[in-house]
Structures are given as structure tokens and as C-alpha cells.
Amino acid sequence: MSFKAVLEGVPIAYIRDQLGADLCGLLDLVEGGVAEDDKLRAVAATAIDAEKLIASRDSRTAFLAFLPANKQAELAQRLGKTDDGQGPAAYLKSAKWTVGQRQELLEFLGFAVDRVAAPAPRPTGDCPADYGLFPHQRDAAARVRDHLYDGARRVVLHLPTGVGKTRTGMNLICDHLRQHEPALVVWLAHGQELLEQAAAEFERAWSKLGNRAVDLVRLWGSESADLGKVSDGLLVLGLEKAVSLAKRDETFLRRLAARCNLVVFDEAHQIIAPTYQRVVEDLTVNPRASLLGLTATPGRTWAEIAKDEQLSDFFFRQKVMLRIDGYTNPVTALIEQGYLSRPTMRTVASETGVQLTDADRRALAGSFDIPADIVTRLAGDEQWNLQVVRTVLDLIKQHRRILVFAASVDHCRLIAAVLSALGIDAAFVTGESSTRHRTQVISRFKGGSRRPMVLCNYGVLTTGFDAPAASAAVIARPTKSLVLYSQMVGRVIRGPKAGGTPDCEIVTVVDPELPGFGDVAEAFMNWEDVWETA
């Protein structure tokens, strides 16, 4: 009995409670009145997370009570019930509900549970490099190595949006770990999402390129770790965490520096913030330590030349960018040669009910990204969400696969549910989604069905995601981070040679009161006058 079929027979009050007030309110707005019960039931199977629902004992018991008696008996038998005189309902309530039993329940409700498949035989032919680089990336990486291990040992790798900055950086890290055993590399970044992405990307890279088991340590937010015995591998360290630990223990960074011989700073344009600069200086106090900056925007600001000069001087003006014969701007070459898709970028504005206070404006001015509480308020604004939905409806007339980058986990589910209510094949994945759910949804998105599909996501598809048919993106997550914005854009800007499409369309939904981006291509050559490009 499918999950959807069960929900079709439950009281509408239960449906409304599970959907929540925000989603019901937006559906009311889309319908131009109060959404009918049938409309709510139609989106319930998409909007309600079945795996999360059955994980809690109370919510699982309440849900299973809606199963017909014969289905309760069938499920109980499937889970291993013996003839012990206990009724099916009592058995289901008292069962231990192991991981295996929960998987059985999901299969019973019609969900696909991943099974390990035997590897398919591979024909004779070329041996692919599963974590390889294109020729222009290999050329840039080689020039970076020349700077990392000689002279000032500081260099910025400047790659445009969608050209594999993180992949190239991870190749360099893996090379370093193989050649300097033991070796501790510290990856510095601001923000949980970018940090988790770095850790996940390193796992993928080292599984293909590594030559031994090494440590991978995540240290940001509330995470803690005993670094006393960590001397070989990658430490992904949040900048705020580094500053906090250094304040608590003045010797922390210096002790770490004694074991660290390579520091990688993501979003390198942030490095001259005084507190961050002190972190980097302490970590690279060893004269044999190297510093690699990664960025799509090698400038601290858009217009203040003094700040840009300060950033350039910190890296001794050493920067490596793509070098393609016959072109002054490599972006043009990459588009013409099919590595990048030819993008059409536009913005749509939404007048929201989010009113910024003086405190909000001070917080915006003093932070590298838009404060979480402002993003949360925006994600709950009906007019903002209505504009997001309208944007998708406009794009789906011309595109078969569309990615939506939502502002939060709840926002992701809400947008997917409303689109489903409008008859669109829409699904979602978030950082909270199980591997099974994520694999199932992404596999369907990548599949060959001609029916248009929208995949809403938050925090999981900005790196390491390849969907060749995706040709449009809706950026519904406001950000001041050009790197994060570039990563979102990069999911659909891959050209035919990178497994993508010849053309793509990126629409950014903006609130006129908030800073943001509308086009990243113009920024690439903005800071060349303050660097000596190698």
C-alpha cells in the first residue's frame, strides 16, 4: 500500500498538521483563496518526509494506525511477527523498529531502498580517470605547484565559475599528501555549507587519488576534535572556530602550525580581514609552509583599489589563472570550446514584507553573508515564495530539468510541495535527506524521462553534482558570497564537453532591499591590474 494511498484516507486535519501553516498558507495564496482538501492531499506525499515520519515512535504509531487491518497484518508478517497471540496493531507498536525494519516499512509503502548491485562488466578501451582534470586545469595546477614549493610559497588559483576550482584544488591537496608523507593540510573557509562541501569533496578525491589511509577532521560550529594525534590528512577548519579556539588558547594555532605544511583558504578574497589574517599568519609561521588561495573573485571589493592591493600583496601578487592560447578572457574560450554552457542570466525582483531594521542593516554591513535570521524571514514570506514559483512556471515551458536552490530545509520542501500541487513533477533533497532518498531522487532527475522535472535542494548540490540535462537554475537563496553563488550557477553552466548543455538559463530571485548577484561573468577580469598573473 503506497504512502500516497495511505495519506488519501487520513483525516484532513492530520494532513494540515503535517504540512504546517506556512505551506498551507502559500497554497491558499496560489489558489486565490482557501486551498481545497483535494489539493492538500495531492501534495502531501511530496511534502511529508516519510522517513522522518516513521523515525519517531509517536509519529510512526499514529501513522500506522491509519493502515487498514489487513495491511497492518500484512506488514506485521513482513516484519517477522510470529503466532504469539499478539495482534498486528500491538506488534507494530511494540516492535524494536531496527534500521532493517524501517527499510522494510519504506518498501512496503512503495519507496525504493537501495540494494548493492553487482558491477557491470566494462568493455576493453580507454581507462578513465575518475577524478581527472581537463588540459587547461592540469596546466593551471602545474603552475600553482611552481609557486607553492618555491620562493614566497603563496599563490592564488583564480578559476571562473563552473570550471572546477574545488576539483583542481583537491587534486593539488592529494598530490601534496602523496609527496609529503606524513602531511597535514588545513582547509579554511567561512560557513557550514562550504566547509561540509570541502570535506565531502576531499573524501571523493582521496578515494580515487589516495595512496594510504589518512585522517579527515571536521572542526566548525559546535564540533570538537582531539587534534593531538592528527598529523597526516586534512583538517577542515571553520574560520570562526579557529578564531574562537585561538582566543581560548593562544598557543592553539602555533601548535597546529608545527604539524601543518599546507594551508588552503577558500574564498581567498576574505583573507585580509584582520582576524582571519592572523589565523593564516599563525598557521604558516613555519617557513616551509605553503599557502594556496582559491577564488573566482581575486579582489576584496568591487571598487576600492587599496583593499585589492592589500589582498594582492598578501599573496606577493602571485596568481595563476587559466591560460588558453588566442584568448585574453578564458571564459570566452571555454564557452566557445564547449567546456562552459552559454548562459543567459537575469534577475526577477520580489517586493516582500520583510522590513529591515537598523540592527539588520548593521548586521548586513558587518558580515560576509546575509544573516540567518533575515534569510529565515525571507523564506517564510508569501510574496517572495510566490515569485519563486512563478519563475519556475516560466522556465518549465522551455527547460526539461530545472534546479532550484532554496534558502533553507523548510523552504526547499515548501517550494517542491507547491509545485507538485500545480501538477509539476517536483522533488527535493536537503542535507537532512537520507542517502537512499537522495540517490533515488537524483537518479530520477538524471534519468531519460522527457517529462519536465524540478529538483529543489538546500545545501547538497552546490558541488560534486553532475546532471547533464539540467539547463536552468533558480537561485532562491540570497547570498553575499560570490563563491557560493558561483557554485550554484556552476551546476548548470557546464558545457557539452563537461557533460552539460550548450546553453543554460539562470534566474536569481532578488529582494531589492538585500545585496546579491545577477551575473558573475563580468567579474572575472575585474582585478587583473593588481596581480602579476602567472
Closest by CA position to 467, among listed 491, 502, 448: 491
pLDDT for residue 204:
94
Q: How confident is the model at residue 430 (pLDDT cuts 50, 70, 90)?
A: confident
Q: Where are the alpha helices (DSSP H) in 20-68?
A: 21-31, 37-47, 50-55, 57-64
Q: How confident is the model at residue 526 (pLDDT cuts 50, 70, 90)?
A: very low
Considering the four listed CATH numbers 2.60.120.10, 3.40.50.300, 3.40.50.2300, 3.20.20.80, the one that applies to the domain covering 341-517 is 3.40.50.300
pLDDT for residue 517:
63
**Higher pLDDT pick, 320 / 464:** 320
- Identical fold, 135-331 and 341-517: yes
Q: Provide the strand spans (E) within 425-500.
A: 425-430, 453-458, 472-475
Class of domain 135-331: alpha beta
pLDDT for residue 303:
43
Per-domain residue ranges of the chain:
3-108, 135-331, 341-517
Angle at which helices 12-19 and 21-31 cross, to 10°: 100
- Mean pLDDT for all residues in the chain: 83
pLDDT for residue 482:
66
- Residue 220's contacts (CB-CB under 8 Å, 6 or more residues apart) are 192, 195, 236, 237, 238, 240, 241
Other CB atoms closer than 10 Å to residue 315's CB: what's the count? 23
Q: How confident is the model at residue 352 (pLDDT cuts 50, 70, 90)?
A: low
**Higher pLDDT pick, 361 / 289:** 289
- C-alpha–C-alpha distance, residues 300 and 317, integer Å: 14
Whether the predicted pLDDT of 253 surpasses 90:
yes
Whether the predicted pLDDT of 98 surpasses 80:
yes
Whether the predicted pLDDT of 505 surpasses 90:
yes
Provide φ and ψ at 47, rounded to 5°.
-80, -25
Give the best-scoring range by mean pLDDT among 119-128, 192-201, 435-444, 524-533.
192-201
Q: Cell triple for residue 277?
A: 589574517
Q: How confident is the model at residue 464 (pLDDT cuts 50, 70, 90)?
A: very low
Residue range 211-232: mean pLDDT, rounded = 91
pTM over 0.85: no
- C-alpha–C-alpha distance, residues 428 and 154, integer Å: 41
- C-alpha–C-alpha distance, residues 288 and 262, integer Å: 9
Residue range 8-14: mean pLDDT, rounded = 89
**Higher pLDDT pick, 488 / 176:** 176
pLDDT for residue 527:
44
pLDDT digits (tens, 9 = 90+) for 153-200: 999 998 877 778 889 999 999 999 999 999 999 999 987 768 888 999
* Residue 27 C-beta-side C-alpha neighbours within 13 Å: 29
pLDDT for residue 35:
75
Per the rule left: phi > 0, alpha: psi between -120 and 50, beta: everything else, 130 is alpha
